Structures are given as structure tokens and as C-alpha cells.
Chain A
Amino acid sequence: NAGVMQNPRHLVRRRGQEARLRCSPMKGHSHVYWYRQLPEEGLKFMVYLQKENIIDESGMPKERFSAEFPKEGPSILRIQQVVRGDSAAYFCASSPWGQGRSNEKLFFGSGTQLSVL
């Protein structure tokens, strides 16, 4: 059973370009979470999605950032007009349960390291 797959592993963009980060959850998991991590920092929640629905986007910047999890295919985190401050590691996690299950365990991918030049 393959784990959570993220690609690309490393992504380099120039300021003003768009970045698209992909996440395929584990088989059987319909809940996806995106987190962002800066060096020496913890993981900061961005958005929680189920198939075709955004459930909680309280951690997502209001501008330039968007996320989707279509019925078919991977979840996509999209950053438009990237700036240097967007440089970070972006992790996706999946779960077979939604928020609210008391023993929920998140399964993380290996992340995408975004570097903005």
C-alpha cells in the first residue's frame, strides 16, 4: 500500500510565477490536509479538504493561495504570483477519517520544497 505521494519533491520558481504542488493520498483515504513548514518551525495548518469540498481553509492566506481535491486525481495546492516569502516545505497529509475522530492519525507525504528566486 503506497504512502502519501507528493510531487515534485523540489520546485524552483521565480518571483511572479505560479507553483502547483500535487498530493495523492493513501489508498482509501478521502481526507487531505496541507501544512507548511519553515526551517526550525513546526507545521502550520493551511487547509483541510475532502473529495470536491474545502472543509477548513482557516490557515490559508486569502490571496494567491488555493487548493482543490477533485473527484478524480490528486489534491492540488496552487500558489499564484509567488514571492520569496512563500519559500518553504509544503507537506500533505491524509487520513481515512475526518477531524473529529478522537484517535485520528495523520499520514504525511515527504513534502515539496518550494524555493522562490
Chain B
Amino acid sequence: GQSLEQPSEVTAVEGAIVQINCTYQTSGFYGLSWYQQHDGGAPTFLSYNALDGLEETGRFSSFLSRSDSYGYLLLQELQMKDSASYFCAVRDRGNTPLVFGKGTRLSVIA
């Protein structure tokens, strides 16, 4: 099976940078994904890393180190609207379902 660990809560100031870490244990590895979910809303896809390194998409970046079974989501120039829950997710084989962590609740304060 798979397990993922990420902090339950993070608070950061508007305009700052925040990093949300995710460590995982899987029998295999088929990529690390990140999803954002606002309260009462649908989870939305943010990023996907299959190979080591940093992927950048606007203010959001995602990093993966397969040797450390570790990744993070980096949010820059934080805005109030970034207050949401962020989930990392992994798949251990190509034909197995996506497994989600418990999520990190990010609160952006003025």
C-alpha cells in the first residue's frame, strides 16, 4: 500500500512564500501530484512530477526527489485566495488508483 505524510496546517503572510512538504511510502512510484481544494469546493489539479527536479507553473512550483521519497509544493507571492487545502497524491503503479494524503490547510493572513 501507500502512505503520505504532510503537515496538517500552515499559516503564512500575504505576499510571502510558503513550502508544503510531502513524504511518501509506496511499493512502486508513478509520480507525485498536487491538488488544491477550497472549502466546499472541488479538488483541482495543480501539478505533477514524475522525474526529479522542479516544475514551475506561474506562482506555483512543485519539486520531487525520488531518492528521498519527498516532494514539496512552493507557493510564491501568496494571495488571500490561496487559502485552501493542498493535497499530495501518488500512484504506486500505472494501473492503481491515485492515493491522496490528508491535506495541508493553508491560511494566508494579512
Contact = CB atoms under 8 A, between A and B. Distances in A.
B110 interface: no
B21 to A, nearest CB: 15
Main secondary structure of the interface of A (DSSP, over half): loop
Contact of B98 (A40, A45, A102): A45
Interface residues of B, number: 26
Given A33-B97, A99-B96, A41 B44 contact: no
Given A42-B100, A42-B102, A105-B45, A99 B95 contact: yes
A43 B97 CA distance: 11
A110 interface: yes
A59 interface: yes
A101 B97 CA distance: 12
A14 B96 CA distance: 34
Interface in A38-55: 40-45, 48
